[in-house]
Structure 1
Amino acid sequence: MSISKSRQSPFNIANESGGDRLLQIEAVYDRVPVGLCYLNQDGLIVTINDQLSRLLGVESKIAVGRNIEDIVPLHAPLLRKGLAAAKSGEVIADGEVEIAEESFMVSAAAVMNDLGQFAGISVAYTNITELRRATRKLQETEQRTAYALENAGQWIWDLNIPANQVWRSPQYRILLGLDPNAAEKPSVGWDILHPDDRAHTLQAFDDALSGKNPLFEAIYRVKRPDGGDTWILSRGKIVEYDANGAPLRLLATSVDISMQKRIEEQLSSTVELRLKLEEKLLAANRKLRNLSERDHLTNLPNRRKFAHLLRQAFGQAHDVHKDLAVIMVDIDHFKTYNDFYGHLAGDDCLIHVARSLNKVVKQTSGSLARFGGEEFAALLSGVSKHEVMKTATQMLNSVTAMKIKHEASPSGLVSISLGIAILDENNRAAIAGPDDLLNLADTALYQSKRNGRGRVSLWGAFS
């Protein structure tokens, strides 16, 4: 590690001891794993260690001899305040700064020269980011119980075990709504226990007496004069034994946890409600996602969903060298069908065609989507060219077999045209992506249309 020095004596005295003192400071700076610098009384940086140089993002040789306003303008007011306090002989208050989204404690101490004169301050930048994070986590945890402990009183009690007599500090009277000014006298042990809590509390006491548990701890209720109950948490231990090892005294504290009990019940209800709301939200999100990926008329996957399925299948086909086929389908003369029969009849035609095509495609574990308007798209993965052609032919025949009248069509019936593109070992290198495969199937579809419609065309067979 290298530490730069100013040419001017940091102690502003006419002897060489200031230089020796600086060397001593630098030696310490070398061994301390925090960011350190030394400022003279004018606010000039006399020396700075590597840790602080890296932290501030400035080379030590540039920082040394410069005003703090030049090097750390955001921290300068804090450091100036420390210098002023040190000059006045006051204690330098610690401060906090943020550097690159991390928190640092800035501490400083006055440095005196050999004559006992104020020479400057030594400043330490200590990273407290993790401490702050831990503190925040602790605060979050404490906040859950803060309402329970707020305004809660507590008392000390001392049980004479052989005599079964208990002394309680006066605070318990305030907590239970009793007269706080009344004189407290020794009373019978466990006399304030709620009857329903007596058994388990005395069991906890017996476990402490026998040594089964090193500490006594019990939660129980105490009746108040107004008829209500106060929940109490008591903790204590045996603090005195006789010569034979028999327990003599139990010293304990009790605290009102009624608020905590209420909060636990509310929290339980809140958590239960939150879980129900989360379930409803998840169900709503699933429904919304499903709606966004479904065609509202045919209930088939829409174009967006088909594109997603195609991207996935295309990637898998490349990874495992599996064949992949896309079949584009178009209802022939559908515009004239709508014009002749009306749009309601057109919707009904689309639904029937969709059902017929989907039934065929499902037989090969393929996927069918409504691509848009009167167009459909099928995705077949891991099937041979022969199987693809067979499926396409079945799709063609299934629509024809429905014999849906189409008087505006030359054939008099609703028919479809199909175009096929297959990704296989022969063209895998030539087809760069899923869109390319889709475009090739679309090209084949238009070849079917040009050849008279009502037929199947395979890309590659005509290109």
Structure 2
Amino acid sequence: MPSSKSRNSPFDTQNERGGDRLLQIEAVYDKVPVGLCYLNRDGIFVTVNDQLSRMLGVSSDHAAGRSVEDVVPDHAALLRASLVAALKEKPIPDHKMQRGTETLMISAAPVTNDLGEVAGISVAYTNITNMTQISERLAEIEQRTTYALESAGQWIWDMNIATNRVWRSPQYRTLLGLDPASPAAENVAWDIVHPDDKARTIEAFEDVVSGRKPHFEAVYRVQRGSGGEAWILSRGKIVEYGPDGSPLRLLATSVDISSQKQIEEELSLTVRLRMELERKLLEANRKLKKLSESDHLTSLPNRRKFSRLLKREYERARDDGQPLALLMIDIDYFKAYNDVYGHLAGDRCLVQVGRVLSKVIGKGTGVVARFGGEEFAALLPGASVDEAADIAATLLEAVTGLQLDHEDVPAGRTSVSIGISALAQLPPSTQDGADALVNLADRALYEAKRAGRGRVRVWGSFSTD
């Protein structure tokens, strides 16, 4: 009956053969670019390579001889579950783990002692944070072929460059779902490569043969025996040259990267969907902003938008010493219009008046907005008082020209009254000048109404007594 020490510690240095095996594994561990460790059946770290030490932020000396709970408490349960699966001879699934800003793939495989018993697990940590995942995954698979070549999904091939023939190891038949019992044979190079990928693959080969590149690397599709396609990554180098320096043999390995390709495609789809979503969100935000700044009835800028424009233009005109005029426009007897013709007709009246005001003001650099109720406001950057008065007179004529019946007023037609104020009328010490312009134009508008409506008044051109 084997001792518990032999059973639990297959690589104990007291056992000469076990010690040699441990030294071999440690030598292999230190040469690979992925994080590797060996846990015995009790969940104790036996060996940890330098790469894993850096990943986990612990030294190999600190980890060796300690339990997973002591060294990696954040995912000790995962390692314990993998160890239990190995001891029960059940498949050990791969797991992803987020560690800070990095994503790690954790893979484990059972390790047996000289008696064929499971003595622990070999665990590999691969950084799959970015698209270097393919090469890192390949390194991990190559390491795991030490224990199970078939599970690595890898084959070796040797190409005779002179004859353009290639020998492939039997594993490629298993990987592609072909009959593994078929004898290995030499085939024409690139015969298994998908037609659409062949030119690119041969170009990569010619780059190596010509010396333009030191290594061969190509990604291409091959047909599976059961149907469908597999994505293959092949890497190799020239290993034999003739006396004249011409390349004779290319030795390479191939590995199935279909799962990585699927991840790339899913990621690409996710990126496209996200970009489309962002585009739609930006468009929706633009529409929402426009709606929030527009009057729902006339589609003109609302008071909020007008106030922001007024403040901006006021500050610009004040700083640059440029003229600026403001018009407050009110539909005369509008309440009576609603009472006589109804609110729907009143809405149509507002829309028509707003449209004609916008048409006149829009010929220049000004902007007209619905200020509230039956009142509109027009901002005229660069306009003097006289120019503003001319524009106001044109507005009066344009509204009258609509010939909207209004039987409850003396003229019998809808009209507007307009009050004008200008930046030049404000004292230099005026505070809140934008609001002051509105107040002065309002007072001028009041004077226009008091004088009989359907007319224009400029602030400062009438008595305020």
Q: Tell me the TM-score range normalised by the shorter chain.
A: 0.5 to 0.7
| CA deviation vs aligned residue, 1:377-407 (integer Å, no higher than 9, x gap) | 0000111111011112222233234443323
8 Å CA contact 1:448–1:456 kept in 2: the answer is yes
CA shift digits 1:407-442 (9 cap, x unpaired): 322443322222211112863432533222212222
| Aligned pairs for 1:63-82 within 5 A | none
Separation (CA, whole Å) in 2 of partners of 1:289 and 1:412 = 40
What amino acid sits opposite 1:317 in the alignment?
A
The unaligned stretches of length 5 or more in structure 2 are: 1-61, 74-98, 105-126, 142-150
Q: Give the paired residue count.
A: 342
Q: Percent identity?
A: 54
Q: How does 1:16-415 map to 2 (within 5 A)?
A: 139-142=128-131, 153-161=153-161, 166-178=166-178, 182=181, 185=184, 187-188=186-187, 190=189, 192-194=191-193, 196=195, 197-198=197-198, 200-267=200-267, 271-415=271-415
8 Å contact kept, 1:148–1:263 = no
State yes or no: 1:423 paired with 2:412. Answer: no
Aligned residue for 2:364, secondary structure, equals coil
Superposed CA RMSD = 3.9
**Residue of structure 2 equivalent to 1:102:** none
Unpaired runs of at least 5, structure 1: 1-84, 97-130
Report what 1:105 is aligned to.
none
Q: Is the Cα contact below 8 Å between 2:201 and 2:218 reproduced in 1?
A: yes
1:338 Cα deviation from its structure 2 partner: 0.9
* CA distance 1:134–1:221, change in 2 (3 Å): closer
1:205 maps to a residue whose letter is: F
The answer to whether the 8 A contact 1:404-1:413 is kept is: yes
Q: Distance in 2 between matches of 1:408 and 1:281?
A: 49
Task: Give the Cα–Cα distance (whole angstroms) in 2 for the partners of residues 379 and 445 of structure 1.
Answer: 15
SS at match of 1:291: helix
Are the counterparts in 2 of residues 147 and 259 from structure 1 also a CA contact under 8 Å?
no
Contact 2:170-2:184 within 8 A present in 1 as well: no
Supply the AA of the counterpart residue of 1:141: N
**Matched residue type, 2:333:** H
How far apart, in 2, do the equivalents of 1:202 and 1:332 lie?
84
Q: TM-score, normalised by structure 2?
A: 0.62
CA shift in 2, pair 1:429/1:169, >3 Å: farther
Single out whichever of 323-332 and 192-201 deviates more from structure 2.
Answer: 192-201
* Deviation (angstroms), 1:458: 2.1
Q: Is the 8 A contact 2:326 2:377 kept in 1?
A: yes
In the alignment, the residues of structure 1 paired with residue 253 and residue 236 of structure 2 have an alpha-carbon distance, to the nearest angstrom, of 6
TM-score, normalization: structure 1?
0.63
Amino acid at match of 1:355: R
* 1:323-374 residue CA offsets vs partner (Å, 9 max, x unmatched): 1111111112211121122112212222222233223222333111111110
Letter in 2 for 1:418: I
CA contact (8 A) 2:165 2:186 kept: yes
* Alpha carbons 2:297, 2:351 under 8 Å: kept: yes
The answer (yes or no) to whether the contact 2:332–2:415 under 8 Å persists in 1 is yes
Equivalent-residue separation in structure 1 for 2:371 and 2:424 (angstroms): 24
State the distance in 1 between where 2:240 and 2:136 align: 35
Q: Is the 8 A contact 1:148 1:261 kept in 2?
A: no
Per-residue deviation, 1:135: 7.4
What is the alpha-carbon distance in structure 2 between the residues aligned to residue 301 and residue 433 of structure 1? Answer: 21
